[in-house]
Structure 1
Amino acid sequence: MSARLRTWLFNLVFFGGSVPYVLATPLLAALGSGPLRYWVRAWTRYHRRCARLILGIRVVASGTIPAGPALYPAKHQAMFETFELVALLDAPVVVMKRELARIPMWGWAAQRYGMIVVDREGSAAALRGLMRAAAAAKAEGRSVVIFPEGTRVPPGEAPPLKPGFSGLYRALGLPVVPIALDSGTAWPKHGVKRPDTPIRFAFQPAIETGLPRREIEARVYAAINALEPSQSSDRHSREDGTP
C-alpha cells in the first residue's frame, strides 16, 4: 500500500473514530476532571494505535520520566507529539498557541481537558494568563508541557526560545525535563506522512530550579535540539526587548 493511501486511511480512521471521543467530552467534563483526563488519555492511545497499525509509526522513548510533576519544554515538529506527550506523561497540562484551539473537534476538546491557550506574540497580558493557568495546574499536581520555540518547526531548524518559558521556570519552581524529538521526519506538516519511520522521544536529564535566566535558556535550548546534529548549541539567545 502506498504512503499516500496509508495517509488517507489514517485520516479517515482517526478523525472519523475521534467523533465519539469529542462528543462525549461535555458529559465527562460534568463528571469531574478525573473521568475527563482518563477519556483524553484513551483518545491519545487511540491516536497511537492508528499511527502504529495503519502507518507503521512507532515511538522510541529514551531517558527517564520523573515520578512527580515537572516542567517539560519540548521540541515541536508535528501535531503528533501533542497527542503522544499526553499519553507518555499521564495527562499533563499543555501550553498551546491560540491557532490550535480553532482546529475542529481537537481544539475544543483540548480546552475542556485543561490545555492552556496563549497568544504566541507574547503580550504582557498573555504571559500573566499563562502564569496563572500554569500555577493552577501545579496546584493540582499536574506536569506542564510547553513548546518553547512557540510553533512547529521543520527538522533541522532551531529558532530562539520564546519568553514564556523562562517566566514559567521562575514561577513554577518545578524540575525541568527537556524533550528532544524528531517527529517531523515521519509526520510533515503538510502532505503525505512517511510510514514505517520510528519517532524518537529523548527525555534529557532533569535541570534543577533556581538557575539564572540565560543559563536555563541555554541548557534547555541545547537539550531540546539534541537530535538536531546540524544545529550549533550557541544559538540560544532570544530576541532583544523581552523583559
Structure 2
Amino acid sequence: MRYALRWLVSLIFVVQMYAAMAVLALVFTPLAIFSRAWVYRAVHSYCRWVRWTARWMVGLRSEVRGTPPTEEVLIAAKHQSFFDIILIVSAVPKPKFIMKSSLRYAPILGWYALRLGCVAVDRGRRAEAIRQMQRGVLDGTAPAGQLIIYPQGTRVAPGAHIPYKVGISVLYRETGQTVVPAATNVGVFWPRTGIYRKPGLAVVEFLDPIPPGLPQRDLLTRLEREIEGRSDALMREAGFDPDTAGSEGAAR
C-alpha cells in the first residue's frame, strides 16, 4: 500500500513536471525569440521548479557540490537520469549539450535546445557522430558556454559498467579547452526509466578541472577513474552499493 501511494505521488510529480515545461516554455518563448538571455532564464527557472517540486512532492532533495564552471569549458558528466541534467543545468550559466539528432524535432524542447547552442549528432555510426560533433562545436555558430558531454553516450543505471567513448577526448584535443568531470548518484533515487521516485539526497559533484594538453588516451583513463570512483562513493553515501548491483544496470 505504501509503495502504491508513493508511486501515485511520483506519477503526479512527473505529470506536473512536464506540464510545467510546456507552460514555462510558452511564457518565455516570446522573449527568448529575441534574446538568448531569456532562453537561459527559461531553462534555469524550469530547473529550479523541478528541484523544488521534487523536494516537497516526493522527498527528493538535491545538492550541487564542488565548483560549477562559469567559463567556456567541456563538462564530462556521469549520466544516470533526467535529474542529473536538471542539476547540472541549474548550476552553470550557459549550458549546452551534445544531443541526439532526433531531439531537434521535439516540440518546443528542440527549439530551445538549438537556441542554447546544443549540437545534434546521429549516434548510430560512431565515426560520423564524431565528425558531426567536431563540425558542430568548431564551426563558430554556437554561443560560448559550458558544453555538457556524457562520455558513456547514454544513461547508465547504478552499478552498470559502460566503457567511455572517444568523442570527449577528440573535442578536448580539437578545442584546447579544460574538461571538468562531474559525478552523480541521482540514479539511486530517480531511475533512467519508470515513474517511481525515491526520497533522499541526490548529488551532482563537479570535480577538479583537467587542463588542456593530456594525450587523448590519458584523458579517457583519468575521466573514467575519477568520475566512476566518485560516483560510486556518492552512491554508497546514498545507501547503494554499486559493487553488488549485479548486471541489472544495462544502459538504455
| TM-score category (smaller protein) | 0.7 to 0.9
**What's the TM-score once normalised by structure 1's chain length?**
0.84
State the 1:27 CA deviation. Answer: 2.2
- Contact between 2:77 and 2:148, CA under 8 Å: does it hold in 1? yes
Residue 92 in structure 1 maps to residue 98 in structure 2: no
Paired letter, 2:225: A
Inter-partner Cα distance in structure 1 for 2:127 and 2:155: 23
Q: Equivalent residue for 2:16?
A: 13
Q: Equivalent residue for 1:211?
A: 214
Unaligned runs of 5+ in 1: 232-243
Return closer, same or farther for 1:35/1:3 CA change in 2, 3 Å cut-off.
Answer: same
Aligned residues: 231
User: Which one has the bigger helix percentage?
Assistant: 2
State the 1:217 CA deviation. Answer: 0.4
Paired letter, 1:55: V
Return closer, same or farther for 1:179/1:28 CA change in 2, 3 Å cut-off.
Answer: same
Match of 2:63 among 45, 48, 60: 60
Residue 200 of structure 2 aligns to a residue whose secondary structure is coil
CA distances 1:93-132 after superposition (whole Å, capped 9, x unpaired): 1112235456555344333433222122344443233123
Return closer, same or farther for 1:219/1:137 CA change in 2, 3 Å cut-off.
Answer: farther
Q: Equivalent residue for 1:130?
A: 133
Paired letter, 1:196: P
Residue 160 in structure 1 maps to residue 194 in structure 2: no
- Contact between 2:151 and 2:167, CA under 8 Å: does it hold in 1? yes
CA distances 1:36-93 after superposition (whole Å, capped 9, x unpaired): 2212211222222221221221222222223422211000110112222111111311
Inter-partner Cα distance in structure 1 for 2:66 and 2:141: 23
Residue 180 of structure 2 aligns to a residue whose secondary structure is coil
Residue 58 of structure 1 aligns to a residue whose secondary structure is strand
Match of 2:232 among 207, 228, 233: 228
Moved more, 123-132 or 80-89: 123-132
Alignment of 1:38-49 (within 5 A): 38-49=41-52
State the 1:218 CA deviation. Answer: 0.2
CA distances 1:169-210 after superposition (whole Å, capped 9, x unpaired): 111211111011011111112333333221111211111211
Return closer, same or farther for 1:132/1:26 CA change in 2, 3 Å cut-off.
Answer: farther
Aligned CA RMSD, in angstroms, stands at 2.4
- Contact between 1:69 and 1:138, CA under 8 Å: does it hold in 2? no
Q: Equivalent residue for 1:196?
A: 199
- Contact between 1:3 and 1:192, CA under 8 Å: does it hold in 2? no
Residue 232 of structure 2 aligns to a residue whose secondary structure is coil
Q: Equivalent residue for 1:236?
A: none
State the 1:138 CA deviation. Answer: 9.4
Unaligned runs of 5+ in 2: 234-241, 244-252
Residue 214 of structure 1 aligns to a residue whose secondary structure is helix
- Contact between 2:96 and 2:113, CA under 8 Å: does it hold in 1? no
Inter-partner Cα distance in structure 2 for 1:138 and 1:83: 25
**What's the TM-score once normalised by structure 2's chain length?**
0.81
CA distances 1:202-237 after superposition (whole Å, capped 9, x unpaired): 211111211111100000111221222657xxxxxx
Paired letter, 2:101: R
Inter-partner Cα distance in structure 2 for 1:13 and 1:172: 39
- Contact between 1:41 and 1:86, CA under 8 Å: does it hold in 2? yes
Residue 169 in structure 1 maps to residue 179 in structure 2: no
Inter-partner Cα distance in structure 1 for 2:85 and 2:140: 17
Q: Which runs of 4+ in 1 moved over 6 A?
A: none
